[in-house]
Structure 1
Amino acid sequence: MHSTVSGKPRSALIVLLVSALLLGACGSKPSEQKKRDQAAKDKLVITNVRLAGIYLQRGQLNFAKEKADKAIEADPSSSMANNMMGILSWRLKEYDNADRYFRRAVRYGPDNALAANNYGAFLCDMGKIDDSLEYFDRAAENPYYEKRSGAMTNAGRCLMKKPDRQKAETYFRRALKYNANEAEALYYLAQISYDTNRTLTARGFLERYFATGSQSAESLYLAVRVENAMGNKRLAIRYARRLKDQYPTSPEASRVKIR
């Protein structure tokens, strides 16, 4: 009589164990193959998206479209590929396509803060200001996104179009929490402060703005007005001269009179 384990012949148990191992091995192969296939897809997507971005920067839109199409073909559910197609369609003024691709990008990549920021910027450009804020907020909520201050600045700038200066100021101040040297946020806060008769605050924001190394005809013209409002004529003249020397053909320079 054969010895048994749990009432079954030992030889039968060995057969069952071997069968289970074989089944397990067979089951693992598709999983490993799937991983390899996905890795190959990811590589194709990354390569073609990068090339599309390079061509887009060069203004070679046909080549950019070709590479973006290849990225989508490699993986239609890639957030990165759909984001690039959204940017390209926006550039080509194919707005319905851009909206569709951006929607896919944020759906397939809920943690893709770049796609969320881009979709917010697109919606703002389309005049959908309130809708855009959801995506700017989503981008800023991602702790790994390096440009959270930029997303908040984009939201504030979008609200300036409405205009809703009070809410815009909130977003610009949030931008400074992520990056105290976010130049554009500093400039807009100076502008809002001046427009609401907070000239000392406006001066403070402008000084911080200039300290970042940033400068524009608009910011120098604002500095002239701020210093004039505070009665500091000498500093106002200094800013006016910088404006005329460095931006002589600007509309702002033509508005300034040096006495």
Structure 2
Amino acid sequence: MSTLRWGAVLLLLSVLVGLAGCAGGANAVDNQRAAEANANLGADFLRKEDNENALSRFRRALDYDSSNTTANWGMAVVSDRLGEVEDARRYYEKTINLQPSAAIYNSYAAFLCKEGDVDRAVRYFERAANDERYPGRSDAMANAGLCLHRAGQVDSAEEHYRQALAMDSSQLTALTGMARLKFEQGDFLRARAFNQRADSVAQLNADQLLLGARIELALGDRDAAAAYVERHNAREPSATLSLRQLEQSR
């Protein structure tokens, strides 16, 4: 899923470090500064995918200040990475209580969707998308569409994809989602149109290139399908897919 990307998560983690409060006496200030320093180091380790050291630093930050937003969100992210689902849920919910924001809603919603809690996920995605100050509004709405699509709620998925495209006509998740949705519905011309729009705004990944090939095969354009297969194989150096193999897999 094109949920909040790790880079965006880490960027917001660094912003949250700077926003941590400084109220209280000297000891409180010292504790908050120590918490911020450790949370910042944790975010650096998280960026390097060093989960164990990130976990250690975030825990140390929380020892100094249990209300440090960055450390709590970092703990949510690390716990999710390590498969500690209930810990991740607890830290996400604590982070939302400490400092609710659209970016955190989007991140938590992605977690909820992954865990199969589609209705709650969509509510949080929508909450993020409805915040006009949030620059990722269209991303959150598209993420809601993708979550619903994967859950088989096709009509609602299309509605959310289209709302995302109304916010940003080049939103990639919504464009590729609509291409796949229309392909699944047998509406191959519209599937092609959405896929071509996606191809014009971003470099398609291997799965999206295969979708493009399948759409063109469905429309009878073997040359266009072969071009997508060639691009797919170029993106995946170990791939040796042929057009014939793709045709046989339909």
> Could you say which TM-score interval applies, normalised by the shorter chain?
0.7 to 0.9
| 1:187 aligns with one of 176, 179, 190 | 176
1:165-176 correspondence runs (5 A): 165-176=154-165
3-state SS in 2 of match to 1:34: coil
- Mapped partners of 2:169, 2:130: distance in 1: 17
- Mapped partners of 2:131, 2:31: distance in 1: 25
Paired residue type of 1:144: R
Q: What's the CA shift for 1:196? A: 1.4
Paired residue type of 2:126: D
3-state SS in 2 of match to 1:82: helix
Q: Name the CA shift for 1:40/1:143 in 2 (closer, same or farther; >3 Å).
A: farther
- Mapped partners of 1:129, 1:177: distance in 2: 23
- Mapped partners of 1:109, 1:184: distance in 2: 27
Q: Structure 1 length normalisation: TM-score?
A: 0.75
1:161 counterpart residue number: 150
- Mapped partners of 1:218, 1:133: distance in 2: 24
1:5 counterpart residue number: none
- Mapped partners of 1:161, 1:67: distance in 2: 35
- Mapped partners of 1:212, 1:39: distance in 2: 47
Q: What's the CA shift for 1:200? A: 2.0
Q: Name the CA shift for 1:204/1:93 in 2 (closer, same or farther; >3 Å).
A: same
| 1:223 aligns with one of 212, 234, 238 | 212
Query: What root-mean-square deviation, in Å, do the aligned CA atoms of Structure 1 and Structure 2 show?
Result: 2.9
2:17 counterpart residue number: none
2:9 counterpart residue number: none
- Mapped partners of 1:214, 1:37: distance in 2: 51
Q: Name the CA shift for 1:185/1:244 in 2 (closer, same or farther; >3 Å).
A: same
| Identical columns (%) | 29
Higher relative contact order (CA 8 A, sep 6+): 2
Q: What's the CA shift for 1:125? A: 1.7
- Mapped partners of 2:25, 2:240: distance in 1: 59
Paired residue type of 2:138: S
Paired residue type of 2:202: G
Q: Name the CA shift for 1:236/1:65 in 2 (closer, same or farther; >3 Å).
A: closer
Paired positions, count: 226
Q: Name the CA shift for 1:37/1:210 in 2 (closer, same or farther; >3 Å).
A: farther
Paired residue type of 1:222: L
Which ranges of 4 or more aligned residues in structure 1 deviate by more than 4 Å? 35-46, 248-254
The answer to whether the 8 Å contact 1:160/1:168 transfers is yes
3-state SS in 1 of match to 2:24: helix
Q: Name the CA shift for 1:143/1:253 in 2 (closer, same or farther; >3 Å).
A: farther
1:83 counterpart residue number: 73
| 2:190 aligns with one of 189, 193, 201 | 201
In structure 1, stretches of 5+ residues that fail to align are 1-31
- Mapped partners of 2:109, 2:28: distance in 1: 29
Q: What's the CA shift for 1:95? A: 1.5
1:1-259 correspondence runs (5 A): 34=24, 43-110=33-100, 112-247=101-236, 249-250=238-239, 253=242, 255-256=245-246
- Mapped partners of 2:25, 2:137: distance in 1: 32
The answer to whether the 8 Å contact 1:217/1:253 transfers is no
The answer to whether the 8 Å contact 1:217/1:252 transfers is no
Q: Name the CA shift for 1:123/1:246 in 2 (closer, same or farther; >3 Å).
A: closer
